Amino acid sequence: LYQIEKEKGLEPDQHTFDIILNACVKADDLSNTTTILEEIYKLSHRLHFDSTLLSSLIKVCSTNPDRKINLQRLERILELLREKNISYDQKIYEALITTYGKLGMFDKAVGLYEEVVEKSRNQESSEGVEDKKGAIKLSVRIYTGLIVACRKAKQHQRAMEFFEDLLNRRIIPDLTFLNTLFE
């Protein structure tokens, strides 16, 4: 798809890059992933970075066997977020917590979880909020990322505490969460 667009002289957009990144990750294609990331950075001045593309970019940061490369990629993406003054939304929080979990960065994952707890608490206490679109809330994806972080850090007791918290908040665990919990 990417090559066809380039051969036709078309400029790929954020949707094209999102599809290609996800395909590279699923195919475990590290060399093309690196090429696509460089192309995205090169075109960053004209691309619209929506939360779908940003979460895909963040998820790529846990795919390379070299942790140092993953951390460099993540720092570059976080710098891009700062440069473009992009606030974290639901998808970005979910992707960051999961990525930090996969990278074994337990404290970072838990720190972001605590931010989400605080934001969701503040949103619940805001009176007159009718539009819930864009609200930050705890989700099964956030808890799945936390369980990954707990497993990597050998924090089994904390994993069970997060599981209890998920249940107490009446969030329904999905199969991905349960598989992650019992791995």
Task: List pLDDT tens digits, range 22-76.
Answer: 888 888 887 788 888 888 998 888 898 999 999 999 999 988 889 999 999 999 9
SS3 label, residue 65 = coil
Per-residue confidence (pLDDT) for residue 126, from 0 to 100: 65
What whole-number distance in Å separates Cα of residue 15 and Cα of residue 159? 35
Q: Which residue has the higher pLDDT, 111 or 27?
A: 111
What whole-number distance in Å separates Cα of residue 7 and Cα of residue 73? 28
Structure tokens at 85: 């003054």
CB atoms within 10 A of CB 31: 8
- Reference 108, options 100, 98, 99; nearest CA is 100
- pLDDT at 171 exceeding the cut of 60: yes
Q: pLDDT band for 130, please (50, 70, 90 cuts).
A: very low
Q: What's the pTM?
A: 0.88
SS3 label, residue 123 = helix
- pLDDT at 173 exceeding the cut of 60: yes
Structure tokens at 36: 């696509």
Q: pLDDT band for 100, please (50, 70, 90 cuts).
A: very high
CB 162 within 8 A of CB 156: no
